[in-house]
Amino acid sequence: MSWSEPERAPGVPGGPGTGRRTWAGTLAMLGLAAASGLLGGCGFALRQPPRLTFRSLALTGFEPRSPLADDLRRQIGAQVAVLDDPGRAEVVLHALADQRHKSVVASTAAAQVRELQLRLRFEFRAYAPGGRELMPRVQLLLTRDMSYSETAALAKEQEEAELFRDMQADVVAQVMRRLASIRP
Q: Give dist(CA 76, CA 101) in Å, integer.
A: 26
Domain boundary assignment for the chain: 7-45, 56-180
Nearest to 76 by CA among 62, 91, 86, 96: 91
Give the CATH architecture of domain 56-180. Answer: 2-Layer Sandwich (3.30)
pLDDT tens for each residue of the chain, 184 residues long: 455 555 555 555 555 555 556 777 777 777 776 666 666 567 777 777 788 999 999 999 999 999 999 999 999 999 999 999 999 999 999 999 999 999 999 988 988 899 999 999 999 999 998 889 999 999 999 999 999 998 999 999 999 999 999 999 999 999 999 999 998 7
Q: Give dist(CA 125, CA 14) in Å, integer.
A: 76
Q: Give dist(CA 124, CA 132) in Å, integer.
A: 15
